[in-house]
Chains A and B, each alone.
Chain A
Amino acid sequence: MDKLTVVEGRAYPFGMKNVDTDIVIPAHWLKTISRSGLGKGAFEVLRKEPGNVFDDPEYAGSPILIAGDNFGCGSSREHAAWALADLGIKVVIAPSFSDIFSGNAFKNGILTVVLPQEAIDRLMEVAQTDPIHVDLEQQTVTTQFQDRFQFEIDPFRKHCLLGGLDEIGLTLGQADTIGAYEARAAGERPWLVPAVA
């Protein structure tokens, strides 16, 4: 996974509340076999509306998404995070997120930043014309206009995102511990291996 330290760039001033995973990626995209390419289906329904932020050339390729309350509610589908990642989103800033979504986002290298509504309102304003700066190390969101918003993050998640460590990579770092367990289990319950010849 790519390291995430500082993300700077334009942000989609989206702002919608209660965006469920069906809005992020409709169910008919679930029959795919790849995580990549789902960006095409991201916000499909909203993109049918003329003048939507996602198709506005002003914001094309923005790495930041600013959203409203309860972002990512609904089903547990991981496709929502995959779709955002494929769209090039690295940070989502909102007043709150569904737990499952922020877990899925984290697993896919996306930082979810929780800020109070006033901060969101201000960032929405700046995002219309200017870039936004997110610094994970400092846990800040700043603008060139002296705005500075501090955010909280679980230390484990911060550590993983900064180091580009995915959970699998971390667990693989414990291969020796796993190997030792396997050796012990093979002694205690030898009939378990192999399961398939």
Chain B
Amino acid sequence: MVKPRTLYEKIWDAHVVERRPDGTCLIYIDRHLVHEVTSPQAFEGLRLAGRKVRRPDLTLAVPDHNLPTTPRRDAQGNRIPIADPESAQQLAALERNAPEFGVRLIGDADLEQGIVHVVGPEQGFTLPGTTLVCGDSHTSSHGALGALAFGIGTSEVEHVLATQTLLLKQSKTMEVVVEGELGFGVTPKDVALAICGRIGTAGGTGYVMEYRGSVFRDMSIEGRLTVANMSIEAGARSGLFAPDEKTFSYLKGRPLAPKGAAWDAAVAYWKTLHTDEGAVFDKSIVIDAADIVPNVTWGTSPEDVVPVTGVVPDPESFADASKRAAAQKSLDYMGLTAGQRMEDVTVEHIFIGSCTNSRIEDLRAAAALLKGKHIASGIKQALVVPGSGLVKQQAEAEGLDRVFTEAGFEWREPGCSACLGMNPDKVPAGERCASTSNRNFMGRQGPGSRTHLVSPAMAAAAAITGHLTDVRELLEEKRGEVVA
């Protein structure tokens, strides 16, 4: 009898080119996404060594991190120059390197452009059972479709470009099981935050996660993308969802997904991609769906999670000394005091976007609350940044852009935007942002910026009230309005 295997082990086994005596494996990479920040030195390395890209047909380049989210072309269709010379240089390098090495580039003003982790699934470039890499840690996102996807460094980017392989050691496996039904107003982002809060940012280190249980089975593909995206914030390089009917119907007809007979063969294979009965995980985390509520972060690590109805924790309440010191440092940085109610924390900025929460369902969830409402007077800037040109187009077709702009939001061009301080969208020092992104590190949204990670609906709620807010109250109100 064949030994039962986990989903991860099945994908791993199918990609072993060579197994070395010390257990290291040469692993084949099916899909490689390239963006402008981590690729210039990799292409430079190839050029200096006189090497070429082995499989340009498995490689896709798209700029995202440095792009301003203001219009990129003037009325005549000419490029509007990028103010930051270093950003401009990284973007120009990608535009030079892609054609030189025969790699397909989605350009800065193409309709398909967007955040690399939004573009991959949307184009059908990401497929179940594939190995997918990108020089970016949030590559874990693509695990939502059942791809073994993980971030790599620049030398590894070069290695994949040149050889289409990586030298890797097999990871341990961890299942994250959430059974039951999510409560009213609880979203996939809240689930992701709950997991980070529960296991901590180092909890998944050395593991590949698999998300199992009824909550994940019932979750939409976009919700799964949000959860898989944050696997890395819980320390896991990859997080997997077994592909199912939802995955297949999401992918069917996407531009780069297989067609015709190839599609049928692919689906038949994808149906075998699940953890076998009796397969053993190295670690198991079980969370009851009923325990998950709308969450916010209070500190400068994604594990610093509390219910929105909760209070800022007292650093003294942490058991070990280094945690206590870190918590105090976080509170000083965040300008918060122990015991303060999270709902009393006022914000000046709202950011709806990033590879975590910039897809159409995210925008719909936020717009549903904002319809007919206006941002609070204390909000200095509220940004909505769709994850791709296609998301933007879809949202505009549904009239969501008008809901946002009428509510006082700025409707922007796709890109990483205020998720990290690499482009002009930043949160000023000392100011506070309710953000749908994935990292609340010190200085992440700009030097001195203070970030509270939330779901899109919670970001919309904070925009309306001007402070962190339990979205369930506003949803109840909405329900009331509809009935009345």
A residues lining the B interface (CB < 8 Å): 31-35, 76, 78, 82, 104, 107-108, 166-169, 171-172, 174-175, 177-178, 181-182, 185, 188-197
Residue B41 is within 8 A (CB to CB) of chain A in the complex: yes
B325 in the interface (beta carbon within 8 A): no
CB-based nearest B residue for A190? B262
**CB <8 Å contact, A196 and B159:** no
CB–CB B165/A171 < 8 A: yes
Task: Mark each residue of chain B from 85 to 101: 1 if its CB lies under 8 Å from any CB of chain A, else 0.
Answer: 01101100100000000
B153 and A195 within 8 A (CB): no
Name B163's contact: one of A107, A172, A189 (CB within 8 Å). Answer: A172
Verify A190–B265 contact, CB threshold 8 A: yes
- A29's nearest neighbour on chain B, judged by CB, is B86
Q: Say yes or no for B31: interface residue by CB 8 A criterion.
A: yes
Contact across chains for B30 and A192 when beta carbons are under 8 A apart: yes
Other-chain contact of A171, B93, B163, B266 (Cβ < 8 Å): B163
Task: Give the docked Cα–Cα distance between A85 and B155 (Å).
Answer: 14
Q: Which residues of B, 44-91, contact A by the 8 Å Cβ criterion?
A: 44-45, 49, 51, 54, 57-60, 86-87, 89-90
Chain B residue at minimum C-beta to C-beta distance from A100: B153
Asked if B51 contacts A171 (CB within 8 A), the reply is no
Please name the 3 residue pairs, one residue from A and one from B, whose CB atoms are nearest each other, closest first: A33-B40, A194-B57, A191-B258
- Measured between beta carbons, the chain B residues less than 8 angstroms from A174 are 17-18, 26
A167-B159, A192-B127 known; 7 other A-B pairs, CB under 8 Å? A34-B44, A35-B45, A168-B162, A171-B26, A185-B28, A192-B130, A196-B125
A31 neighbours in B (Cβ, 8 Å): 86-87, 89-90, 422
Do residues B41 and A33 form an inter-chain contact, with CB atoms below 8 A? yes
Q: Within the complex, which residue of A32, A76, A104, A178 is in contact with B17, where a contact is CB–CB below 8 Å? A: A178
Q: Which applies to chain A's interface (DSSP): helix, strand, loop or mixed?
A: helix
Q: How far is the CA of A24 from the CA of B155 in the complex (A)?
A: 18
Q: How large is the interface on B (under 10, 10 to 19, 20 to 34, 35 or more residues)?
A: 35 or more
A181 to B44, CA, bound (A): 28
**Whole-angstrom distance between the Cβ of B52 and the nearest chain A Cβ:** 11
The reply to whether A196 and B60 form a contact with Cβ atoms under 8 Å apart is yes
Q: Could you say which residues of chain B place their CB within 8 Å of the CB of A197?
A: 256
Contact B262 A33 (CB under 8 A): no
In the assembled complex, the Cα of A76 lies from the Cα of B262 at a distance in Å of 41
Q: Are A33 and B59 in touch, CB under 8 angstroms?
A: no
B263 within 8 Å of A by Cβ?
Answer: yes
B104 contacts A by Cβ under 8 Å: yes
Which of A78, A168, A178, A195 sits near B154, CB closer than 8 Å? A78
B470 proximal to A (CB < 8 A):
no
Cα–Cα, bound, A185→B13 (Å): 12
23 A-B pairs in the complex with CB atoms less than 8 angstroms apart: A31-B86, A31-B87, A31-B422, A33-B40, A34-B44, A35-B44, A78-B154, A78-B155, A167-B155, A171-B162, A171-B165, A172-B163, A177-B17, A185-B28, A189-B14, A190-B262, A190-B265, A191-B258, A192-B30, A194-B57, A195-B30, A196-B59, A196-B60
B269 within 8 A of A: yes
Q: How far is the CA of A194 from the CA of B102 in the complex (A)?
A: 14
Give every chain B residue within 8 A of A196 (Cβ-Cβ): 57-60, 104, 125, 256
Does B90 lie within 8 Å of A33, measured CB to CB? Answer: yes
Chain A residues, CB < 8 A from B40:
32-34
The answer to whether residues A178 and B164 also contact, given A35-B41, A185-B28, A190-B265 and a CB cut-off of 8 A, is: yes
Question: Using Cβ atoms and an 8 Å threshold, which residues of chain B touch A188?
Answer: 14
Name the B residues within 8 Å of A104 (CB-CB). Answer: 153, 155
B286 to chain A, nearest CB (A): 32
**Cα–Cα distance between A112 and B18 once the two chains are bound (Å):** 28
Say yes or no: B155 contacts A178, CB within 8 Å.
no
In the complex the two chains form, is A178's CB within 8 Å of B41's CB?
Answer: no
Contact between A171 and B153 (Cβ–Cβ < 8 Å)?
no
Nearest CB to that of A194 among chain B residues?
A: B57
Is B158 close to A, CB under 8 A? yes
**One of B86, B89, B167 near A167 (C-beta < 8 A):** B167
Q: Which residues of A contact B158 (CB under 8 A)?
A: 168
Cα(A169)–Cα(B162), bound, Å = 9
Whether B159 pairs with A189 at a CB distance below 8 angstroms is: no
CA distance A35 to B57 in the complex (A): 26
